[in-house]
A and B are shown apart, each in its own frame.
Chain A
Amino acid sequence: AADPALIYDLGGKFDKSFNEAAYAGAEKWKAETGGTYKELEMQSEAQREQALRRLAETGANPIVMTGFAFAEVLKKVAPDYPDTRFVIIDSAVEGANVQSNLFADEQGSYLAGVMAGMATKTKTVGFIGGMDVPLIRNFACGYVQGVKSVDPAIKVLQNMTGTTPAAWNDPVKGGELAKAQKAQGADVIYAAAGGTGIGVLQAAADEGILSIGVDSNQNHLHPGKVLTSAIKRVDTAVYDAFKAGTEVEVGKTNIWDVAHDGVGVAMDDNNKPLVSDEMAKAVEDARAKIASGELKVVNYNTGNACPVQ
Chain B
Amino acid sequence: MTRLPRWADLILTPLISLALAFAISAVVILAIGQDPWAALKTMVTGAVGSSYGWGYTLYYATNFIFTGLAVAVAAHAGLFNIGAEGQATLGGLGVALVCLALPWPHWALALPAAMLGGALFGAAWALIPAWLQAKRGSHVVITTIMFNFIAAALLNWVLVNVLRPPGSQDPATANFPAGTHLPTLSDMAGAIGVQWGKATPANVSFLIAIAACLLVWLLIWRTPLGYEIRAFGKSERAARYAGISPVRITVVAMLISGALAGLMAVNNVMGEAGRLVLNNVEGAGFIGIAVALMGRNHPLGIFLAALLFGFLYQGGAELALFSNIPRELITVIQALVILFTGALDNMVRMPLERLFGRRAG
> Which A residues are closer than 8 A to B by beta carbons?
38, 40-41, 43-47, 49-51, 53-55, 57-58, 68-69, 71-72, 76, 80, 90-91, 131-135, 163-165, 301, 304
Contact = CB atoms under 8 A, between A and B. Distances in A.
Nearest to B275: A72
Contact of B201 (A49, A131, A135, A301): A49
B280 A46 contact: yes
B160 A80 contact: no
Interface string B324-359: 001100000000000000000000000000000000
A46 B268 CA distance: 8
Q: How large is the interface on B (under 10, 10 to 19, 20 to 34, 35 or more residues)?
A: 20 to 34
B278 A45 contact: yes
A71 B277 CA distance: 12
A46 B271 CA distance: 12
Nearest to A5: B321
Nearest to B160: A163
14 contacts: A41-B320, A49-B201, A49-B273, A53-B199, A54-B318, A55-B321, A69-B172, A72-B170, A76-B274, A133-B171, A164-B156, A164-B171, A164-B278, A304-B167
Nearest to A73: B273
B52 A46 contact: no
B8 to A, nearest CB: 38
B278 A165 contact: yes
Nearest to A68: B169
A80 B277 contact: no
Interface of B: 52, 56, 152, 156-157, 160, 166-172, 175, 199, 201, 268, 272-275, 277-280, 282, 317-318, 320-321, 326-327
Contact of B157 (A49, A134, A163): A163
Nearest to A44: B282
A34 B279 CA distance: 38
Contacts, number: 77
A90 B168 CA distance: 12
A49 B317 contact: no
Given A54-B318, A90-B169, A134-B168, 18 more contacts: A41-B320, A41-B326, A45-B172, A46-B280, A47-B317, A50-B201, A50-B317, A55-B321, A68-B170, A69-B170, A71-B170, A72-B175, A80-B199, A131-B171, A133-B160, A163-B160, A164-B279, A304-B166
Contact of B160 (A41, A132, A135): A132
Contacts of B160: 132-133, 163
Q: Which of A47, A54, A57, A131: most chain B Cβ within 10 A?
A: A54
Contacts of A50: 56, 201, 317
Given A40-B321, A49-B273, A133-B171, A165 B201 contact: no
A147 B280 CA distance: 39
B166 A163 contact: no
Nearest to B168: A134
A261 B354 CA distance: 75
A58 B52 CA distance: 12
Contact of B273 (A38, A41, A46): A46
Nearest to B175: A72
B280 A133 contact: no
B169 A135 contact: yes
B314 to A, nearest CB: 9
B326 to A, nearest CB: 8
